[in-house]
Structure 1
Amino acid sequence: MKRNQGLGRILVMVYAVFALSAFARSLFQILTDFSSAPLAYLLSAFAAAVYIVATFSLARSGRTAWHVSLVAVLIELVGVLGVGLWTVLDPGLFAEETVWGHFGAGYGYVPAVLPVIGLAWLLTHRPAPTR
């Protein structure tokens, strides 16, 4: 079964929802209230960009798409763990929530679980070796 079929298609849809929601939220926040929490809003915009890349690369087949997906999901994992820890250790720095803040608490912790599922899916659906 191809990586982007079956459960893979559901994974792509979840990433698409997060890409859209993170993008819309960060765009609105940046356009309407950027000065109140620039770091938080820029981090949310970065998360949106990562989700967009992951969505498109997960939806495609092939070795290059698999590698791009792997990098995007790894960046997502590092981001959610790093920003999550940062918001716990220095909450005063974040005047507003971010997508990855507090390990994705504002999104039901799905941002913390999604890259783990994405990595598991990618590692069990590696492309065939080239000859």
Structure 2
Amino acid sequence: MAEPSAADFDAGPTGGGVVEGPVPNGTVPGGAEPPPTGPRRILIALYSIFALAATARGIVQLSTTFHTAPLAYVLSLCSGIIYIAAAIGLVTDRSWSRFVAWGACGTELVGVLVIGTASLIDRGAFPHDTVWSRFGSGYGYFPVLLPLLGLMWLWYSRPGADD
């Protein structure tokens, strides 16, 4: 078994001990990413729930009743895939993750506004609801609020925002 090095100990007021939790530069000992906190954690939870719900709904609809409303069911599956991308973009701290989150949240906002408007104008094109129909009314309007919240968080947490 390897002996702990001096870097493994913290000479604090109690005389030292193993460092636990994040260190001053924001990393976790061992090189792991710190866990998400605050609004980011809430966004990740909401996007994960919607990813599961929309993807499962789309898969079930496409596999059982595709012929009754193919456009609506394909759009439900597409929204689920976009929610998955947003959740992945928000949960990771990789060089590409913010780009993915921006793209997914932006695509989701455009999708929910276009599909929401189209579903109100031409009800015949959407005989069955999608996740984004009527601006997400079947989901408590979260589909229209979620990308706004995601984009706001991305904007306010961007690198250099405090300058």
In which range does the TM-score fall when normalised by the shorter chain? over 0.9
Q: 1:107 aligns with which of 139, 143, 148?
A: 139
Which is richer in helix?
Answer: 1
Where do 4+ consecutive residues of structure 1 move more than 4 Å? none
1:17 maps to amino acid: I
1:21 maps to amino acid: A
Give the TM-score taking structure 1 as reference length. 0.93
Query: Could you report, residue by residue, the CA deviation over 1:2-58 in whole angstroms, capped at 9, with x for unpaired residues?
Result: 893222011100000000000111111001100000000000011000000001110
Q: 1:47 aligns with which of 79, 83, 93?
A: 79
In structure 1, stretches of 5+ residues that fail to align are none
- Is 2:52 the counterpart of 1:20? yes
1:127 maps to amino acid: P
CA distance in 2, matches of 1:19, 1:97: 17
In structure 2, stretches of 5+ residues that fail to align are 1-25, 27-33
Q: Which structure is larger by alpha-carbon Rg, 1 or 2?
A: 2
Kept after mapping to 2: 8 A contact 1:3/1:61: no
Identity %, equivalent residues: 43
Give the TM-score taking structure 2 as reference length. 0.75
Q: For 1:66-77, what aligned pairs fall within 5 Å after superposition? A: 66-77=98-109
Paired residues, number: 129
Greater RCO structure (CA 8 Å; 6+ sep): 1
- Is 2:151 the counterpart of 1:127? no
